[in-house]
Structure 1
Amino acid sequence: MGNEKEHYSENFLFRLISEELQLKAFGRDMCTRFPPEPNGYLHIGSAYAIHTNYIIAQRFNGNFHLRFDDTNPLKEDIEYVNAIIEDIKWLGYDPGNHIYYGSDYSNEIYNAAVSLIKQGKAFVCDLTPEEMTEYRGTLTEPGRNSPYRNRSVEENLELFTTMKNGGYPASSKVVRAKIDMSSPNINLRDPVIYRIIHAEHYRTGNDWCIYPMYDFAHPIQDAIEGITYSLCSIEFKDHRPLYEWVLKELDIPEPPQQREFGRLSLTGVVTSKRFLRQLAEGGYVDGWDDPRLPTIRGLRRRGFTPESIRSFIEEIGSIRTQSTVDMSMLDHSLRQDLKAKTISIMAVLHPLKVVITNYQGNDSELLMIENNSENEALGRREVPFSKTIYIERDDFMEQPPKGFHRLSLNGEVRLKGAYFIRCEEVIKNPDTGEITELRCTYDPLTKSGTGFTGRKVKGTIHWVSAEHAVKADVHLYEKLLLEQKLPNDDNGDWIDAVNPDSLIIVKNGLLEPFVQHARPEQKYQFFRHGYFCADKKLTTAGRLVFNRIVPLKDSWNK
């Protein structure tokens, strides 16, 4: 991955870990992990977390584990597992041949809870969720001990065994760690470590009806796998004391260390998995892979490359706090990645017919046009030229303002890679006054590539031959949300927040025949329009659909 190791040597997380390892090195190889819950799809913030863990492990010649936090059968599914693995590999982060699953450690985690009960460090609690909230206290007031806190070790062990064997209904009992109900850190106020869930697990079936909470399972899983550093986003900082408490009470030698980095947000997009689910499953967008979403699947379908995403993350570096980055940075990374490796073709999205009156006969000719002005290695291609062509409607003005350097009545312009043309006549619809056709003449001596050194024109416009044009639907995107104000509740109404112009579909755009066999995910630069990608979901043998990845210049802040 290029200079990523060198770049990461400059960030605060690397410096922190380096200093700690110099003071006390682990007796095992450096090892980090990324622990997604398989209840949804990865997004750009996930990619940032993956990158951080992966590159830090590489920098210290260590290992990287992909481990699924699959301890809630009510939300998890193998569909998400497979999608996450595919996305991580597509991004370029190799999880290796072995994928880890938290559910594989069910026995070890259960035994850890038993050990805490035997030490008098955990107890079975019968408080309802509402009562538990009441007892927990607030940020300014301490909590109160549960009336079940002083049950004997023997009673707790018997109750926990009955919970495990399915003897109680869901949510009727929980196991809580016995720490300190007066702690200023609410996470230490006797947190729940096990709960009852009667549901089939996608991996373990009906073997279990009790499942550990993430804050309890996570440090145990890290210890089992030999993780040295649990690198997580900043919202888990207040959970670190509980992470360390679990490892200490279980007497884990050389325990893993939790360290935090900032959480990444982008302007104009939402990265909360809860809100993404509302958008994807509520019909506001075309599923989790909608090109307007910041999911990895959405970005890939839109046309972003893994190289551009990694470059974007590298440019940000390691951040300490919650940070919001302008979406234009990601767009810039994509342009930088594609500008020298995509073929630039001509596409007319809002066509205006042009008849070249002095072009002889109905024959056509093939013109040689460069594929990329910045990369000669991409070669040249043949583009058909004929008597009737189409240009962009906004490339013509009958009475242009000063500074308009495209085509106008009695004006002259160069057709890209072809000839000079002059507009001699404008044909209009007699009923509406709309311009329907231009009658032009061309100068055969001005053919591109012939060394013509006569008069000059200021403007160059693109075109396609009417006879040879290929039709395609073209999707143009703007930011999905009108503002970053999100609905306040879990079932919020997104109608007013979603930009009605976030997707504009141009039907039957006219493209060069060069793209007629474009493969899904194949990328091009459309001259003057931006970078485009053949939609992997909608493009078929008989239908072309292109997504605009980004314009040639940033437009997000307009």
Structure 2
Amino acid sequence: MSETENKPVDFIRNIINEDLASGKHAGVVTRFPPEPNGYLHIGHAKSLCLNFGISEEYEGAVCNLRFDDTNPEKEDVEYIDAIKADVSWLGFSWNGEPRYASDYFEALYAYAVELVKMGKAYVDSLSAEEIREHRGTLTEAGKNSPYRDRSVEENLALLEGMKRGDYEEGTHILRAKIDMASPNMNMRDPAIYRIRKAEHHRTGEAWCIYPMYDFTHCLSDAMEGITHSLCTLEFADHRPLYDWVLETLKTPCHPQQIEFSRLNLSYTVLSKRKLLQLVDQGHVSGWDDPRMPTISGIRRRGYTPEALRNFCRRIGISKKESRIDYTILEDCVREDLNEKAPRVMGVLAPLKVTVTNYPEELVEEMDAMNHPQKPEMGTRKVPFCRELYIEQSDFMEEPPKKFFRLGPGREVRLRSAYYLTCTDVVKNEAGEVVELLCTYDPESKGGSTPDGRKVKGTIHWVSARHAVNAEVRVYDRLFKVENPEKEGDSFLDNLNPESLTVLTDCKVEPGVVKNDNGAFFQFERTGYFNLDPVDSTPEKPVFNRTATLRDAWAKMNK
């Protein structure tokens, strides 16, 4: 971030500033520690922009990318690759090579043995149900396990047997020995190791016991020299355990855990479990479905990394939980695309127009600006001929007073071309309008006439002879209510059945499909679109509607 840009200001950065000023830390080391059990979503983007953003703002600061791969049954290399791609797409670079909690399995086990030797951990042989019964409630203290007072020697022997694979899953767990009467449920002898006889994506079958998150995370932070461990508010009740582990083991580095509010976005769910359910049950086409709030989904939809980073800056960092309106994200996308998206013409619901007084074989190339406010983006050639397509909505047989588009006897301006007047209407047997017969003014090329007459309406068009057939996918919100997870509802009951509309007979300028997949455009008067990076081909272009124009979105909500 340059010195001329406004740096974010929030309570976390204030803490960092104070720590640096006091000499508590000579530099700043943060980390981004996702679990590789799903794709990143827009909530992770907030944490990404915070942790990596801080590493960009402070001289000498770095941010580690660390995968919390301690649950082999749910992890996959596909997720790891997707996460790395998402971080890079957002424009961030991690410190050195990606790190993995599995890098520290030997060290973590040694720490567990040390706790046992200190009398601060024990092997419990209660069943999972019995452990829950002993745990107590928020108003009642828990009860000590009958195995809590096993000797150090017995605990070490059982732990070694767990590591060798002598016992079945669920027969034993290793628990920290803290306080079963603690008002904080996380401090009631939490589990720190459990048996899992599953192959790990990196260590294979070398381990059949795996450390729990609360034990792994704080020690991984300490081993990496993290100065500020930033996490969302649900981990605030876990902070006493984070500190207990590090203080009890007297680790040379003790990172400071600081919590901030997670991102809650209207009309979405941001639970990996629920997103996986949407994918597995076929409610969406995959993790990268453009309706999904995953980073890969919104990237495929045509959102830009600049828009997403600006959105994260705009919503800011605080400790107060709130639900952010989806329109704020859409506004950030429109603001960015308005500046950089070249303008083109595409007709989503085509209505044929025959210009009866235009020579049948003549083809002209019209000069059209690529951006009306940015002449440096240049112009393009758009073919014009006798047969055209316009939008069906740009014609009304009996137009009301304030309808300034085409109607019988009415004149409009064709964008970057000529004035056009409707002289006749052709209908099919069902009485539907299928074609307009029109005349053009040869002296109005470029949008003006010698007599200086003006028309109020300007519409877009494409040449029927040169237009490319395209599929357009029009996306709406995946859920029809602001909070799909409100109490008493199944979030699946709130799915929007109209979240995707596929238009198969759209017409676009021929030059548009020559761009690379993923390229974005503004279809004039319609919205922002991109060439789908997965399904689009030159032979069959597929466009995703990234966002509506402001006025179009307002009309949709009336």
TM range (shorter): over 0.9
> What's the counterpart of residue 269 of structure 2?
270
In the TM superposition, 1:479-490 aligns within 5 A as 479-483=477-481, 484-486=483-485
Distance 1:322 1:33 in 2: 23
| Contact residue 120 and residue 178 of structure 2 kept, 8 A | yes
Instruction: Please report the RMSD computed on the Cα atoms of aligned residues, expressed in angstroms.
Output: 1.8
Distance 1:501 1:245 in 2: 51
Tell me if 1:46 matches 2:38.
no
In the TM superposition, 1:333-344 aligns within 5 A as 333-344=332-343
Structure 1 pair 488/516, CA: closer, same or farther in 2 (3 Å)? same
Distance 1:236 1:85 in 2: 24
Distance 1:320 1:217 in 2: 25
CA offset digits 1:314-355 (Å, max 9, x no partner): 111112232211111111111111212221111111111111
CA offset digits 1:276-301 (Å, max 9, x no partner): 00001210001000000010110110
Which residue among 522, 526, 535 is the counterpart of 1:525? 522
Distance 2:420 2:125 in 1: 85
| Contact residue 420 and residue 438 of structure 2 kept, 8 A | yes
Distance 1:59 1:5 in 2: 11
| Contact residue 193 and residue 209 of structure 2 kept, 8 A | yes
SS at match of 1:390: strand
In the TM superposition, 1:477-556 aligns within 5 A as 477-483=475-481, 484-486=483-485, 496-553=493-550, 554=553
**Shift of residue 364, structure 1, vs aligned partner:** 1.4
> What's the counterpart of residue 467 of structure 1?
465
**Shift of residue 58, structure 1, vs aligned partner:** 2.9
Distance 1:350 1:312 in 2: 33
| Contact residue 62 and residue 95 of structure 2 kept, 8 A | no
> What's the counterpart of residue 196 of structure 2?
197
CA offset digits 1:501-528 (Å, max 9, x no partner): 1000010200111113232101111011
What is the count of residue pairs matched by the alignment?
553
In the TM superposition, 1:45-124 aligns within 5 A as 45-61=43-59, 62-124=61-123
Task: Report the residue type matching 2:507 in the other structure.
Answer: L
Tell me if 1:7 matches 2:4.
no
In the TM superposition, 1:366-405 aligns within 5 A as 366-405=365-404
> What's the counterpart of residue 454 of structure 2?
456
Structure 1 pair 277/4, CA: closer, same or farther in 2 (3 Å)? farther
Distance 1:90 1:463 in 2: 35
In the TM superposition, 1:149-228 aligns within 5 A as 149-228=148-227
**Shift of residue 388, structure 1, vs aligned partner:** 1.1
SS at match of 2:17: helix
Task: Report the residue type matching 1:480 in the other structure.
Answer: L
CA offset digits 1:205-240 (Å, max 9, x no partner): 111111000000111101111111100011100000
Structure 1 pair 545/452, CA: closer, same or farther in 2 (3 Å)? farther
SS at match of 2:536: coil
In the TM superposition, 1:268-347 aligns within 5 A as 268-347=267-346
SS at match of 2:538: coil
Tell me if 1:362 matches 2:343.
no
**Shift of residue 497, structure 1, vs aligned partner:** 2.0
Distance 1:5 1:80 in 2: 34
> What's the counterpart of residue 134 of structure 2?
135
SS at match of 1:204: coil
Which residue among 421, 432, 435 is the counterpart of 1:434? 432
Distance 2:448 2:279 in 1: 54
| Contact residue 176 and residue 192 of structure 1 kept, 8 A | yes
Distance 1:427 1:541 in 2: 33
Structure 1 pair 97/21, CA: closer, same or farther in 2 (3 Å)? closer
| Contact residue 473 and residue 500 of structure 2 kept, 8 A | yes
Structure 1 pair 229/5, CA: closer, same or farther in 2 (3 Å)? farther
Task: Report the residue type matching 2:516 in the other structure.
Answer: R
Structure 1 pair 247/454, CA: closer, same or farther in 2 (3 Å)? same
Task: Report the residue type matching 2:472 in the other structure.
Answer: V
Identical counterparts, % of pairs: 50
Distance 1:504 1:153 in 2: 65
**Shift of residue 13, structure 1, vs aligned partner:** 1.2
SS at match of 1:52: helix
Task: Report the residue type matching 1:367 in the other structure.
Answer: M
Distance 2:399 2:324 in 1: 39
Distance 1:176 1:40 in 2: 28
SS at match of 2:514: coil
SS at match of 2:339: coil
Task: Report the residue type matching 2:7 in the other structure.
Answer: H
**Shift of residue 96, structure 1, vs aligned partner:** 3.6
Q: Which runs of 5+ in 2 are unaligned?
A: none
> What's the counterpart of residue 238 of structure 1?
237
Structure 1 pair 5/230, CA: closer, same or farther in 2 (3 Å)? farther
Q: Which runs of 5+ in 1 are unaligned?
A: none
| Contact residue 303 and residue 546 of structure 2 kept, 8 A | yes
**Shift of residue 557, structure 1, vs aligned partner:** 5.7
Task: Report the residue type matching 2:30 in the other structure.
Answer: T
Structure 1 pair 336/4, CA: closer, same or farther in 2 (3 Å)? farther
**Segment drifting more, 466-475 vs 94-103:** 94-103
CA offset digits 1:355-398 (Å, max 9, x no partner): 11111232111111111101111101111111111110010011
**Shift of residue 265, structure 1, vs aligned partner:** 1.5
TM-score (norm 2): 0.96
Structure 1 pair 209/4, CA: closer, same or farther in 2 (3 Å)? farther
Structure 1 pair 183/428, CA: closer, same or farther in 2 (3 Å)? same
**Shift of residue 486, structure 1, vs aligned partner:** 3.3
CA offset digits 1:157-201 (Å, max 9, x no partner): 111011111110012100000111111110000000000000110
Task: Report the residue type matching 1:550 in the other structure.
Answer: A
CA offset digits 1:27-76 (Å, max 9, x no partner): x5310001000010001111111111112233332110000000111111
TM-score (norm 1): 0.96
